[in-house]
Amino acid sequence: MEQQSAVYLDALGANVALSPAMKQELDTLGYTVVHNVVDAEWLAAMRALIDAIVEREGDNLAIEHHQE
């Protein structure tokens, strides 16, 4: 199964080896930052979209996740 996963990840361009620091972050924080995966234009578009959602939702942002 691990080989098959590697094939899929490689096809998606996710074939960057993780540094020891990145592995440590994954183990301790549950995430790591992989720089330069998204180009500047796409990143700007995502940021603008997220900013628009935050502006539109206001105090109700993600309220459905906080209801009990």
pLDDT tens-digit series, residues 12-60: 777 778 899 999 999 999 999 988 888 899 999 999 999 999 999 888 8
pTM for the model: 0.52
- Under the banding of pLDDT at 50, 70 and 90, the label for residue 1 is low
Q: Give the chain's length.
A: 68
Q: Decide if 30 contacts 23 (C-beta within 8 A).
A: no
For 63, residues 6+ apart whose C-beta sits below 8 A from its C-beta are: none
pLDDT for the residue numbered 64: 78
pLDDT for the residue numbered 66: 64
Q: Decide if 38 contacts 46 (C-beta within 8 A).
A: yes
Q: Where are the domains of the chain?
A: 1-33, 38-68
3-state helix, strand, coil in the chain (%, to 5): 65, 0, 35
